[in-house]
Each structure stands twice: as C-alpha cells, then as structure tokens.
C-alpha cells in the first residue's frame, strides 16, 4: 500500500497552493516596476519577402541567422486554426489580462489533489513572453517574470498584437518559425485555407517542435494532431464526425520547398534595396507559375545545356508582368542562376522592323512599296544573302518584312543610315553594344550589334503603343511613366509595322493573324529570338547557351516562335490587334503616290534632295486667325520633280515646284519628309506650337 498523506502535509500543500495563486499578482506588481523595458526589435524581425502585384508570395529569404520567419496578419489565417489554437492552448485568451486566474486555480487544485503537476497554466501571452525573452532555467522566478512580461505585452500590444507575435514566433522545428513558414513547409500552401487536419497539426507542433516534426517523426506528429482534434470535438469547437474524418487524413512526411517564383526578379529587387522587408513587384504570380514550366520544357526539348528566357510587358503601363530569367534557377547544367533577360546578345533579324519603321516615317517606303530581293552588292564587298540562300525577286515591303528577307532590309538600312538607326535605338533607351573596332555599318541590319531581351521587348512594346517606348516598371510603387517618353517611330509608321507583322506566317500548329511577331537568329546559331505583341501585351522569348556557344539548328522560327505562341496562349484572353490611326494610308501598290510605288536608290550628290525649310529641330509658332492655324511653308532644294511631301509617313502634298504648303491640325512634334521622282528623300523633325 502506498503511504498515506497526513493532514499536516495536506494543509501544507493547500497553503502552498494558495500562495501560488496569490504570487502572480504580487510578483507582477513588483516586477512591472523593477524589470527593464522589453525590447521587441529582435522578435519583430521577419524574413524578407517578395510579393506579386496581388500580394501573393513569390519568394521569401531567410533571416540573417538562417531562420524562416514570415510576416503574417491574423486576419489572413484560416479561422478554424485560430479556433483550434485557443481551444487547445488558451480557451479564455480573449478574456484574461495575460494571465488566466482560473487556469492557475485549476493547476493548483490538480497539484493539491494529485501531489504533482498535472497541467500547466501557461497562456498564449505567457508563451509569447517566453519566446520574446527566452530564459534557460525553469524556475519559479522565471515563471513570475513570464507572467509580468505577459501582462506587459497585453498592455502594450493588445490581444491582436500578442496573437500576431505568436503566429510569427511559434517554433515548428529546425529553422522554421511561425505559422506561415510552417504552413508552407509542411502542408505546402498559405495558412489562409487549411483543412481541419492541417490546422490541428499546425496547432500541435509548437508544444514539442523537435519531437513532433513531421519530416522526422511523422507518427508523433500524427498522435499530437489527433489529440488536438479530440479536444476540439470534446469542447464542441468542431463536430465529432468531422474530427474523426480529419484523423484519416495522412500526415506529411517531408518538408516542402518554399516558393521560388520569379527567382531572378526577386533576387534583383532585394539586391536593389537590401534594407527593405517587403518588396511588391508588378509581376503576376499565376502567370509565373504557368510560364516557368513552359520555358523549362521548351529549353529541354531543344537540347542539353540550353537556357531560355521570357518577358511579358503590359504595353499600357510598361509593367513587367512576368519575368523568367532562365530554364531553371537551380539547374546548374543550364547555368540557371544567370538572368538571361539582362544578358547582351546578338538579335539577328529581330531589329528589322525598326529599320522599316524609320523608312516608312521618312517617306522612303510604304508597306505596299515594291522592293527588289535580288543578289546585290553594297560597297566593295558586302553582298548579303537570305537565310535559305534564295531570292524572291520583286516583292512588297510588307512581304519582305514578313519573310525577313535580308537584301531589302540592308537596302533600307543604307537609305536610313546605320548611324541614324543606332542613334534612334539609343534615344529610345536601348543599351546598344557595338563592336569596338568599327563604326556602325550595314551589317547592323542583320544583327551585328548587342542588345538585351528586356530592351528588345521595350522597343517592340513601343511599336504596339504607337511609337512611344515605355519605361519598364518592376515595382508596384514605382512612379508612373514620365510625361514625355522616347519615341521609336511615328504613330502611322508604327502601325504599318504592327499590321505587317500580324500577317507573318505563324509556326506549325499555330493560328495565323493573331499576334504581330518577328523572329531572329544570330550568326553562328548562338541565339534564337521571337518577340510578339498585341494591343495589350508584348512577349519576348530567347533561347541559347548562356556561354555564347553555337548550337547547330538553333533557329528563331523553329525554337523560339513556338515558345512565344504558347506563352501568349497561357496569358489567357483573345489577342487584340493594335488600333489603326485615322490617317494611316491603306492602299494597293498602284494607288500609292508614284514615288512610293517602288524603292529606288538615292539620287547622286550633285542634285541631292534636301529640305530647306523648316530646318531639322525647329520650333515653329504658326499663330492662328479666328482659331485656325496658319499654313506651314515647305521648301526643298535639289531632287527631281515632281516632289511628294509627307507628314508622319502620310502624303500631304504633291507639287511640280520645290515648295508647297501644309495645314497642321494641332501642336506637337511632327516628322516632315519629301520624296522626288527618282526615289530620293529627306526628312526633318520639328515642333509645332
């Protein structure tokens, strides 16, 4: 038989229990005045997080000491988790001041009856106090300090503040701290929507985080989860049938990887502002989740060692809506850590549309202008050939661009001027890289320069916007576009290009006339490009080896164009064509003004055509009479009569003399061009005020 408890021992135990009940209040009163202020700086530190435009987590970063502690608002937690938490840990959490007297009385009574500690009396607030200010020893003085800190925390932070700290600091095993990190690590999604079994598991783990880690001790985790479910059913928090059904749900046996969407963009944002805790980007997480596997699959199908990159731009705002920097951030076999959206590469034929745009706006050509695709020599030794080593003969400029013919592009480049072309690209904000040993020459028409995927995408977005090139916005709080944006083309010329590219034959198994697009293949099969757009979005794709090595058979139309079309399909919605400007000239070749019907070489130097008035760069105040602006005199020197005058690529006057008059319809920048009967041209940019 066991030893009987004597009356004296029972009285001693009762007296000690009463003293235990009174101690917290007495100790708190004394400790409030004697303890130093609690420093919450370390407790309030969180992992740096990168979010998309809707607040969805793209990528978290561990704290400086290697812990995963993610910010979380109690309002973003599944209500069932909170109900289970308070039922299991602190039923009167909303009623007590940080210490629960009833729980203390219960614990003391159980101790008095059993002669040993049966249950504790720790509240959520006391647990937070222990997490904020860890104490090594489990002693009466440590418990009293915990009580004082709990009351102080409630007074300073309120119930929601204390709950927020618990949700952030509760231990879940290893470097995982807080509910949000634990939910992502163990159940694979945010804690806003949890099953009953998932919520019970996440309530149970902090009681013994190392002993109950599902990735190491799944059976112990299951038993702890089921105890939470039993208690919840017994207290009426959940129906007993639901609790039993939840017990049948398996416990996760491994830790899941934290989200890593848009890894390069997230890394770049943190590097740009390392002191910032929360980064909100313009990206769309759901698009990233669709496009990243697509890019990886496409690169793998093309060949080993290849990477790929993709960029999606909102044409109206310049926001980057998706950025896939490689075929796999963690794939070292494809140099996945390198962000290829910012790498300088040769664009091949991808810049040809901008040559045509300059030719259209200068009045050198129209989409229906006839142009010769025949063996030609430019200068002493430059004789470009087409990719397939054939020639098409006489074609329209539209067809020449759609087929990406090289001789017409070089001929237009000769007329436009390589230096002017490079200057236009740079003035639009593109970081063009030229070979160090040479000035710009005709080969730049076929990719003899370097450009990044991001800059190329911006230029194409400029075509979709009617000529104005957007400033890329990557952060949601970045300022809007400047009032005056750089221009890559005049509105009519930009639409001519957009309308032409919309008719480019699509890759196999794709529908025609859906998006305007252009491909490019760099010399030596090093880079395959495809850039496409509709009214709303521009998508740019690149494939190649990050080390710049050639890949036999790597062709833009075969490798990159299918990726482009698949990416557009995954954005959702029907592509919308770029709207036509009201003054665009839609006509057959025969209906064009005679100088625009066929492209001819520039007139000789003795009778060179040039605009005498207005001079290039002039600011002209025309004034007005009765609200109608006065006409602008146009004067030319040289050339072969008759002359055709164009504004923004649209014919406005024909004359058998070297002067004419044009009636502006408002203020702004305009490009004025003149063509003579021999096909020579000149143009100036002026500002009408």
Question: Residue 386: is it exposed, middle or buried by C-beta count within 10 angstroms (0-12/13-18/19+)?
Answer: middle
Question: Which residue(s) pair with 321 in the sheet?
Answer: none
> What's the distance, CA 244 to chain centroid?
44
Asked if 206 and 66 touch (Cβ cutoff 8 Å), the reply is: no
| Nearest CA-CA partner of 672 in 650, 641, 643, 640 | 650
272-293 CB burial, b ≥16 within 10 A, e <16: eeeeeeebbbbbbbebbbbbbe
The SS3 call for residue 49 is strand
Q: Rounded to whole angstroms, how far apart are CA atoms 125 and 28?
A: 14
In a 13 Å sphere around the CA of 183, the CA atoms on its Cβ side amount to 26
Q: Is 349 part of the annotated catalytic residue set?
A: yes
H helix or E strand, kind and range, residue 309? strand 307-314
The SS3 call for residue 321 is strand
The SS3 call for residue 114 is helix
Residue 205 DSSP code: G
Q: Rounded to whole angstroms, how far apart are CA atoms 414 and 676?
A: 18
Positive/negative CA dihedral, 154, 158, 163, 164: negative
- Alpha-carbon Rg of the chain, whole angstroms? 36
Q: What are phi and psi of 510, to 5 degrees?
A: -110, 150
The two three-digit tokens of residue 173, written as one number: 């095993």
Q: What are phi and psi of 134, to 5 degrees?
A: -65, 140
Residue 379 DSSP code: T
- What DSSP string describes 304-358? TT-EEEEEEEETTT-BEEEEE-SS-TT-GGGTTTS-GGG--B--GGGGHHHHHHH
The single residue of 307, 326, 349, 404 carrying the catalytic annotation is 349
Asked if 610 and 682 touch (Cβ cutoff 8 Å), the reply is: yes
Q: Is 190 part of the annotated catalytic residue set?
A: no
Residue 206 DSSP code: G
Q: Rounded to whole angstroms, how far apart are CA atoms 214 and 93?
A: 28
| Nearest CA-CA partner of 645 in 617, 676, 615 | 676
How many CB atoms lie under 10 A from the CB of residue 556?
28
Asked if 296 and 284 touch (Cβ cutoff 8 Å), the reply is: no
Asked if 349 and 404 touch (Cβ cutoff 8 Å), the reply is: yes
The SS3 call for residue 549 is coil
The single residue of 47, 89, 133, 683 carrying the catalytic annotation is 89
The two three-digit tokens of residue 462, written as one number: 């400029």
The SS3 call for residue 13 is helix
The SS3 call for residue 644 is strand
Q: What share of the chain is helix, strand, coil (3-state, %, to 5)?
A: 40, 15, 45
Q: At what angle do helices 491-502 and 453-464 cross, to 10 degrees?
A: 110
Q: Rounded to whole angstroms, how far apart are CA atoms 667 and 620?
A: 10
Sheet holding 632-637, edge to edge: 610-613, 632-637, 659-662
User: What residues act catalytically?
Assistant: 89, 349
């Amino acid at each position: 038989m066991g030893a009987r408890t004597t009356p004296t021992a029972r009285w001693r135990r009762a007296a000690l229990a009463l003293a235990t009940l009174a101690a917290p209040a007495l100790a708190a009163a004394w400790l409030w005045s004697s303890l130093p202020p609690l420093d919450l700086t370390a407790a309030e530190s969180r992992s740096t997080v990168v979010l998309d435009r809707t607040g969805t987590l793209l990528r978290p970063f561990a704290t400086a000491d290697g812990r995963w502690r993610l910010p979380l608002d109690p309002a973003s937690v599944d209500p069932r988790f909170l109900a289970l938490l308070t039922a299991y840990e602190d039923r009167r959490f909303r009623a007590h001041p940080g210490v629960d007297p009833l729980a203390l009385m219960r614990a003391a009574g159980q101790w008095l009856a059993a002669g040993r500690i049966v249950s504790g009396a720790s509240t959520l607030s006391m647990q937070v106090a222990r997490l904020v200010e860890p104490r090594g020893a489990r002693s009466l003085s440590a418990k009293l300090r915990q009580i004082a800190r709990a009351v102080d925390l409630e007074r300073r932070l309120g119930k929601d503040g204390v709950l927020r700290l618990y949700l952030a600091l509760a231990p879940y095993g290893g470097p995982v701290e807080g509910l949000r990190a634990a939910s992502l690590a163990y159940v694979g999604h945010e804690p806003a929507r949890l099953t009953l079994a998932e919520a019970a598991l996440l309530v149970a783990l902090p009681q013994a985080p190392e002993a109950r880690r599902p990735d190491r001790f799944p059976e112990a985790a299951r038993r702890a989860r089921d105890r939470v479910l039993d208690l919840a059913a017994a207290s009426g928090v959940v129906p007993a049938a639901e609790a039993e059904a939840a017990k049948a749900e398996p416990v996760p046996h491994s830790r899941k990887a934290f989200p890593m969407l848009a890894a390069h963009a997230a890394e770049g944002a943190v590097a740009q502002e390392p002191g910032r805790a929360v980064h909100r980007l313009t990206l769309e997480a759901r698009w990233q989740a669709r496009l990243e596997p697509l890019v990886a699959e496409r690169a793998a199908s093309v060949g080993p060692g290849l990477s790929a990159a993709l960029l999606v731009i909102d044409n109206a705002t310049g926001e980057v809506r998706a950025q896939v920097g490689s075929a796999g951030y963690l794939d070292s076999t494809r140099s996945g850590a390198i962000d290829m959206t910012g790498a300088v590469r040769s664009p091949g034929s991808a810049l040809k549309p901008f040559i045509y745009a300059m030719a259209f706006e200068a009045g050198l050509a129209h989409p229906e202008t006839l142009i010769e695709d025949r063996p030609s020599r430019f200068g002493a030794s430059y004789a470009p050939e087409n990719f397939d080593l054939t020639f098409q003969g006489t074609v329209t400029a539209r067809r020449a661009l759609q087929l990406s013919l090289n001789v017409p592009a070089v001929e237009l480049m000769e007329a436009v001027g390589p230096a002017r072309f490079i200057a236009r690209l740079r003035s639009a904000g593109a970081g063009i890289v030229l070979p160090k040993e040479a000035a710009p020459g005709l080969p730049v028409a076929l990719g003899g320069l370097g450009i990044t995927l991001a800059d190329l995408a911006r230029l194409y977005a400029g075509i979709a916007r009617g000529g104005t090139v957007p400033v890329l916005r990557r952060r949601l709080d970045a300022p809007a576009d400047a009032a005056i944006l750089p221009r890559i083309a005049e509105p009519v010329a930009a639409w001519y290009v957009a309308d032409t590219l919309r008719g480019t034959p699509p890759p196999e198994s794709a529908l025609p006339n859906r998006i305007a697009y252009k491909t490019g293949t760099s010399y030596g099969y090093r880079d395959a490009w495809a850039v496409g757009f509709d009214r709303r979005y521009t998508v740019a794709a690149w494939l190649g080896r990050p080390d710049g090595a050639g890949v036999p058979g790597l062709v833009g139309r075969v490798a990159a164009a299918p990726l482009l079309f698949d990416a557009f399909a995954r954005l959702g919605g029907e592509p919308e064509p770029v709207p036509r400007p009201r003054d665009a000239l839609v006509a057959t070749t025969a209906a064009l003004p005679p100088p625009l019907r066929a492209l001819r070489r520039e007139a000789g130097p003795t009778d060179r055509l040039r605009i005498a008035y207005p001079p290039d760069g002039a600011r002209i105040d025309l004034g007005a009479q009765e609200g109608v602006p006065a006409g602008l005199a146009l004067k030319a020197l040289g050339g072969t009569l008759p002359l055709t005058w164009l504004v923004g690529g649209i014919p406005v006057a024909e004359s058998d003399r070297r002067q004419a008059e044009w009636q502006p319809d408002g203020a702004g920048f305009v490009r004025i061009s003149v063509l003579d009967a021999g096909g020579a041209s000149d143009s100036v940019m002026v500002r009408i005020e």
